[in-house]
Chains A and B, each alone.
Chain A
């Protein structure tokens, strides 16, 4: 059974640019959530999608957005990148919402210069 796949794994951007990260959940999983991991702030919840609808959102500025497609694949976008956006972005999928039993991908490591 294939796990959660995130692309790209590594990327480097400069301030002011935008980035799109992709996540393919485990087959059959309908819920996708995103987390940001930094040394200073730790793991922080970004948002959660279920059946193409955003169900929860964390405390991040509007520059962070996401969406989910009908096949449950999800993308997140960060616009007008700042140095502080450098982080490991982790995507997780679960069968349903409200279970908390999340299966994580290996993450996309974003470096903003």
Chain B
């Protein structure tokens, strides 16, 4: 069975600090996808990134970067120079061959001035 663990329940940082959100997954699938979603106070989940199990290349998108390591079953997310607008709950998720996502419990990020 798939399982996604986000051990950090809540993180508070001051604006401009870098912050890393951890995600560890368990899966029996040989092919799978990992995701990060952002949930602002308005409620909708916003897609940030999808990574498939064959692609361990790290990805950078502006201030966001992702580190995927199959050896440790981790898919960590780093925000560089955090901003107040980054305050949200961030979810890591996994899926095998279907669109049925298994989500972690989320990490609430609070960025203050």
Contacts and interface: CB of A to CB of B under 8 A. Distances in A.
B99 to A, nearest CB: 5
Given A100-B35, A101-B50, A45 B100 contact: yes
Interface residues of B, number: 23
Nearest to B104: A42
Nearest to A33: B99
Interface string A99-112: 11111111101000
Interface string B27-53: 000000101010000111111001000
B25 to A, nearest CB: 13
A102 B43 contact: no
Given A33-B100, A56-B98, A98-B98, A107 B47 contact: no
Contact of B98 (A4, A35, A55): A55
Interface string A15-51: 0000000000000000101010000001111001000
A8 B51 CA distance: 33
The secondary-structure label for the interface of chain A is: strand
B44 A48 contact: no
Contacts of A48: 98-100
A107 B50 contact: no
Q: Which of the four size classes fits the interface of chain A?
A: 20 to 34
Interface in B86-100: 91, 93, 95, 97-100
14 contacts: A3-B44, A33-B100, A35-B101, A42-B106, A43-B106, A48-B98, A55-B98, A90-B44, A98-B99, A99-B99, A102-B45, A102-B99, A104-B47, A109-B43
Interface of A: 3-4, 31, 33, 35, 42-45, 48, 55-56, 58, 88, 90, 92, 94, 97-107, 109
